[in-house]
């Protein structure tokens, strides 16, 4: 294998960002990749982005600004994201370093082959995909993929980028690979609010918003059951609040969730508006009154960070991996058990909204001081320079794991 070659003096670092999807099909990973790309370009990095073409690639291209996208045509089963052209686009871009987002699909193979051919380094953002719940989902497939490719691929990485709560799980799976412990970020809105989305309505009820993919991992069924219990005990909640479950159908589960809401008799207080993007998404966050995520497993959920940025009081589980917000009283802890969740919802939604506003304001201030995209971009550039041998200064966020 060739030795890594850093940029020549005066040259910009060439970075290739790689993922299976560069559109809304990437879910919460999409805004993370976009902010990484745009933030690093502002810092002088020459960024190219490589992914698999899908039905939304062109529609969502605008969110990448002027950064060049290289979309490779897929072949075979969609879930594998096999796109032979990705190897060619990487070779043509001649990056000094690659940053791969996500696991378990063809981009891992493409990046591994590029690394073998060039000797250049790569970083992997795990994006919660090595969490215990995520590994158990389709467990035999991931064990097979791990044995064949993914574990060795992780061990060859120069660093694995994770949130703080992912460190132990990733260390166990890829012992010996350095870990870059950096959070995701969020923006604090400073302009006029977008137009009120039609599904929120103007009937005087407040909105409890879920925003993400409609998948069992997100606790959708449990939220519905808890909502039913809460409004059964206190019908005034349904008169004062609506529950909006906004998101795209991940894996064909949406129909079951809608049917469950109907079976529970929740048609008057639960809305499924589908996937939200762009101004509609920003409008939902701007006009909602609280946010909920009853997830079983997360890395660091971008939807929660966006809700915090909009000063929404957030109901979330410990699995959302923001324990400091729960401990500081800057968000509200819920369980995935419907009985326990319903009690928390009833206690807060039936009371004064001013107390919820104080929690939302505290969460926003924490987000402002801890989740700045500008700071995260600077740290990523420091990481790339360190890996390429351009900077020997120790990085406080780069953790070494012992080899077992």
Cα 320 from Cα 300, distance rounded (Å): 6
- The answer to whether the CB of 399 falls within 8 A of the CB of 181 is yes
Residues 300 and 378 in one domain: no
Q: How many CB atoms lie under 10 A from the CB of residue 145?
A: 18
Q: Look at the block and give the residue holding tokens 């072949």.
A: 75
- What pTM was estimated for this model as a whole? 0.79
CATH number of the domain bearing residue 334: 3.40.50.2000
Residues 218 and 361 in one domain: yes
Six-digit token pair at 162? Answer: 């994770």
In a domain, 351, yes or no: yes
Residue 403: predicted pLDDT: 42
Q: To 10 degrees, the CA torsion angle through 357, 362, 366, 367? A: 0
Cα 379 from Cα 372, distance rounded (Å): 11
In a domain, 192, yes or no: no
Residues 241 and 161 in one domain: no
Calculate the alpha carbon distances from 54 to 22, 51, 82 in Å: 8, 9, 12
Q: Which helix (H) or strand (E) holds 399?
A: strand 398-399
In a domain, 199, yes or no: no
Residues 260 and 285 in one domain: yes
Calculate the alpha carbon distances from 383 to 100, 179, 375 in Å: 14, 11, 12
Q: Which helix (H) or strand (E) holds 354?
A: helix 353-370
Cα 19 from Cα 52, distance rounded (Å): 8
Q: How many CB atoms lie under 10 A from the CB of residue 193?
A: 12
Residues 151 and 34 in one domain: yes
Domain that holds residue 68: 14-185+372-399
In a domain, 364, yes or no: yes
Residues 22 and 157 in one domain: yes
Residue 16: predicted pLDDT: 97
Give one DSSP letter per residue of 288-328, joined into a string: -SEEEE--S--SS-HHHHHHHHTT--EEE-GGGS-HHHHHT
What's the length of the chain? Answer: 404
- Structurally, the chain folds into a number of domains equal to 2
How do the pLDDT tens digits run along the chain, 404 residues long? 466 787 877 789 999 999 999 998 888 889 999 999 999 999 999 999 999 999 989 989 988 999 999 999 888 877 777 888 999 999 999 999 999 999 888 899 999 999 999 999 999 998 777 766 656 655 445 444 444 577 888 889 999 998 887 787 787 776 788 999 898 899 888 878 888 998 887 888 999 999 998 999 999 999 999 999 999 999 999 999 999 999 989 889 999 999 999 999 999 999 999 989 888 999 999 999 999 999 998 877 889 999 999 999 999 999 998 999 999 999 999 999 999 999 999 999 998 899 999 999 999 999 998 998 999 999 999 999 999 999 888 888 888 755 43
Residue 140: predicted pLDDT: 44
Residue 2: predicted pLDDT: 60
Residues 25 and 149 in one domain: yes
Residues 122-148 pLDDT 10s? 999 987 777 666 566 554 454 444 445
Residues 268 and 313 in one domain: yes
Kindly calculate the radius of gyration of the chain based on its CA atoms and give it in whole angstroms: 22
Residue 147: predicted pLDDT: 46
Cα 300 from Cα 228, distance rounded (Å): 28
In a domain, 197, yes or no: no
Residue 233: predicted pLDDT: 96
Q: How far is CA 325 from the centre of its chain?
A: 18
Six-digit token pair at 343? Answer: 């009690």
In a domain, 43, yes or no: yes
Residues 222 and 96 in one domain: no
Residues 49 and 161 in one domain: yes
Residues 223 and 355 in one domain: yes
Residue 66: predicted pLDDT: 92
Six-digit token pair at 196? Answer: 């009120």
- The answer to whether the CB of 293 falls within 8 A of the CB of 316 is yes
Residues 259 and 158 in one domain: no
Residue 168: predicted pLDDT: 75
In a domain, 2, yes or no: no
């Amino acid at each position: 294998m060739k030795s890594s070659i850093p940029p020549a003096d005066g040259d910009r670092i060439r970075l290739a960002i790689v993922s299976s999807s560069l559109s809304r099909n990437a879910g919460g990973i999409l805004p993370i990749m976009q902010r990484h790309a745009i933030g690093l370009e502002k810092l002088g990095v020459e960024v190219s982005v490589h992914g698999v073409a899908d039905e939304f690639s062109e529609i969502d291209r605008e969110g990448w600004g002027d950064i060049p996208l290289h979309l490779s045509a897929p072949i075979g089963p969609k879930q594998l994201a096999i796109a032979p052209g990705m190897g060619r686009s990487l070779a043509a871009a001649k990056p000094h370093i690659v940053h791969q987002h996500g696991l378990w699909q063809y981009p891992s193979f493409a990046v591994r082959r590029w690394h073998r051919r060039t000797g250049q380094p790569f970083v992997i953002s795990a994006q919660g995909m090595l969490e215990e719940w995520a590994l158990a989902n389709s467990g035999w497939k991931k064990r097979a993929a791990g044995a064949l490719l993914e574990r060795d691929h992780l061990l060859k990485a120069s660093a694995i980028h994770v949130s703080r709560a992912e460190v132990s799980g990733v260390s166990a799976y890829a012992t010996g690979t350095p870990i870059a412990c950096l959070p995701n970020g969020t923006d604090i809105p400073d302009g006029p609010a977008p137009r009120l989305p039609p599904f929120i309505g103007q009937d005087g009820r407040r909105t409890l918003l879920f925003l993400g993919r409609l998948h069992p991992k997100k606790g959708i069924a449990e939220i519905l059951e808890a909502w039913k219990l809460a409004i059964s005990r206190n019908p005034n909640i349904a008169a004062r609040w609506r529950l909006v479950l906004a998101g795209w159908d991940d894996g064909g589960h949406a129909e079951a969730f809608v049917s469950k809401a109907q079976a529970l008799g929740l048609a008057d207080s639960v809305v499924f508006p589908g996937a939200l993007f762009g101004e509609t998404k920003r409008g939902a966050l701007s006009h909602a009154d609280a946010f909920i995520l009853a997830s079983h497993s997360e890395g660091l959920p971008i939807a929660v960070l966006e809700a915090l940025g909009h000063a929404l009081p957030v109901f979330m589980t410990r699995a959302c991996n923001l324990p400091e917000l729960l401990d500081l009283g800057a968000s509200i802890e819920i369980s995935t058990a419907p009985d326990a969740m319903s009690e928390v919802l009833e206690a807060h939604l039936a009371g004064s909204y001013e107390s919820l506003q104080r929690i939302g304001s505290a969460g926003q201030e924490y987000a402002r001081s801890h989740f700045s995209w500008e700071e995260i971009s600077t740290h990523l550039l420091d990481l790339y320079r360190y890996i390429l041998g351009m900077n020997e200064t120790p990085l406080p966020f780069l953790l070494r794991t012992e080899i077992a």
